[in-house]
Amino acid sequence: MYKVVATDILKPVIPEEAILRENGASLIYGDCKTEAELIGLTQDADAIINVYARLTAKVINSLRRCQVIVRRGIGYDNVDVEAATAKSIAVVNVPDYCTDEVANHTMALLLCTARRVVPAREQVKSGRWDFRQFLPIPALKDCTLGLAGFGKVARAVAERAKCFGLKLQTSDPFISAELASEHGVKLVSLEELLSSSDFISIHVPLTNDTRGMFSKREFAMMKPSAVVINTSRGPVVNEDALREALQSGEIAFAALDVMIQEPPIPNSPLLGMDNVIITPHLAWYSERSARVAGEKAAKEIVRVLKGYFPQSLVNPEIKAKVHLREKD
């Protein structure tokens, strides 16, 4: 029987077990926090399902017979893909299980900041009742939403934002103006997006090029009334620069579902700021998306164990190194 290891998911939330068992694989559950724990759990695994744990080169080089690592989510920046490729291990992600959820959460954060929902709630809880404290509140039809990146999630956000009358623009070096126009969105430079948007929603993957992409220079370009929303990856935003921009009035609000360190340190300055909303990396989740992510992860493993390339292969370079077949 094949051995599949889930590195860091609590057993009650994953549906993979039945799919794997039906295909001759057992599933071992872990809650690994350190390299030593990961090595001890995974070194004899045929396949790995990973969420938050960091699969470093040291961990990957300890694997004796692993054929595939599935990152049970969209991003795979916590997997050393280069080390896996060198070991002829397929790396797979699950790119399309939570598009609606993240888009919905993005719009929820936008609306909460636009309508001052959180501070208004706190005012009423404290026994006060004065809407004037939260003025000015612009009409959404008079506002522009700038989407930094225009992948699946950003496009889903755009469709939702149209219902509120927001003007839409995006900056993405990998798409054409024609494609943006097909979605009713104007393609602009990043500088124009930053300077002219009322809401700036970040939808870029975490890479060497995007790490710290939003820092002092970028915040300085924004309107004093601007709202920054991040549902992508925490390290895309320089949090010290964000805090300074919020404290100085360079920008007005931030709404974050992701942070550089998760959970953040208890004394993180952002946690105590009235013009910041933080949710605990919640955007991806619904009962449906959690189930779909597990099902797709398990099916990708089954494909590999049966001798086929996975559908969402992150490192296609291994195709020249491993004896797997293509499958329609």
Dump the DSSP string for 41-107: HHTT-SEEEESSS-B-HHHHHT-SS--EEEESSS--TTB-HHHHHHTT-EEEE-TTSSHHHHHHHHH
CATH class of the domain defined by 2-97+287-320: alpha beta
Residue of 66, 122, 128 whose CA lies nearest to 91: 66
Within this chain, domains 2-97+287-320 and 99-278 share the same CATH topology: yes
Catalytic residue among 122, 182, 191, 262: 262
pTM for the structure as a whole: 0.91
CA distance 126 to 201: 31
Catalytic residue among 233, 239, 300, 303: 233
Catalytic residue among 192, 281, 291, 295: 281
How many helices, marked H, and strands, marked E, lie in the chain?
12, 12
CA distance 109 to 112: 5
Q: At 300, list the tokens.
A: 């990708």
Three-class DSSP category at 170: strand
pLDDT-derived band at 12, boundaries 50, 70, 90: low
Helix axes 152-162 and 99-114, enclosed angle (nearest 10): 50
Q: What own/partner pairs with CB < 8 Å and gap ≥ 24 does 62-69 have? A: 63/87, 63/89, 66/42, 67/304, 67/305, 67/322, 68/92, 68/300, 68/301, 68/304, 68/305, 68/310
CA distance 133 to 48: 52
pLDDT at 14 over 80: no
Residue of 191, 250, 196 whose CA lies nearest to 219: 250
CATH of region 99-278? 3.40.50.720
281 is catalytic: yes
Cα angle 211, 215, 218; round to 5? 115
- The 10 Å Cβ neighbour count of residue 77 is 16
- pLDDT per residue over 202-260, tens digit each? 999 999 999 999 999 999 999 999 999 999 999 999 999 999 999 999 999 999 999 99
pLDDT at 100 over 70: yes
pLDDT-derived band at 327, boundaries 50, 70, 90: confident
Domain range annotation of the chain: 2-97+287-320, 99-278
